[in-house]
Amino acid sequence: MHGKQAFRRATVIGPLGELLTMDLLPALTISRWTARRKAEVVAAANGGLLTIEEVCERYALTLEEFSSWQRAVDRSGLLGLRTTHVQRYRGMYQRQQRY
Tell me how far apart the alpha carbons of residues 47 and 12 are, in angstroms, rounded to a whole number. 6
Rounded mean pLDDT, 8-37: 93
pLDDT at 31: 87
User: pTM for the complete prediction?
Assistant: 0.78
Whether the pLDDT of residue 22 is over 50: the answer is: yes
The pLDDT tens digits for 25-79 are 999 998 899 999 999 999 999 999 999 999 999 999 999 999 999 999 998 888 8
Fold held by 32-98: Arc Repressor Mutant, subunit A (1.10.10)
